[in-house]
Amino acid sequence: MEEKILDILAKTNDELLTYTGPNMVDDEIIDSFELISIIEQLEEAFDIEIDAEDVSEENFGNKDCIIALMKRLTG
C-alpha cells in the first residue's frame, strides 16, 4: 500500500517524498488543486471515498499523515 501511495505522491510532486513538515499546502510544496488531484487518485487506486472532513492538516500534512489515513480508511 505504501508503495502505491508514494507512487501517487511522486507523480504529483517528488518533493512530497522528502517533505516532513506539518502542512504541505501551507509550505507551498503543492497547491490546493494538486491536493484535489492526489485525493482523486487515492480514491481511484484504493476504491474508497475520502470525506471532505477528512481533508485536514492532520490527514494531509505530509506523506506519513496520508499513509496513516489510508491505512485507517482501508483497514
Q: Which stretches of the chain bind other proteins, using CB under 8 A? A: 25-26, 31-37, 39-40, 43-44, 47, 49-52, 55
Q: Least separation, in Å, of the C-beta of 48 and other proteins?
A: 10
Query: By C-beta, is 56 or 72 nearer to other proteins?
Result: 56
Q: Minimum distance from CB of 33 to other proteins (Å)? A: 4
DSSP codes joined into one string, 20-37: -SS-TTTTTSS-HHHHHH
Residues 8 and 17: beta-carbon distance below 8 Å: no
Closest approach, Cβ 44 to other proteins, in A, equals: 6
CB nearer to other proteins: pick between 39 and 69: 39
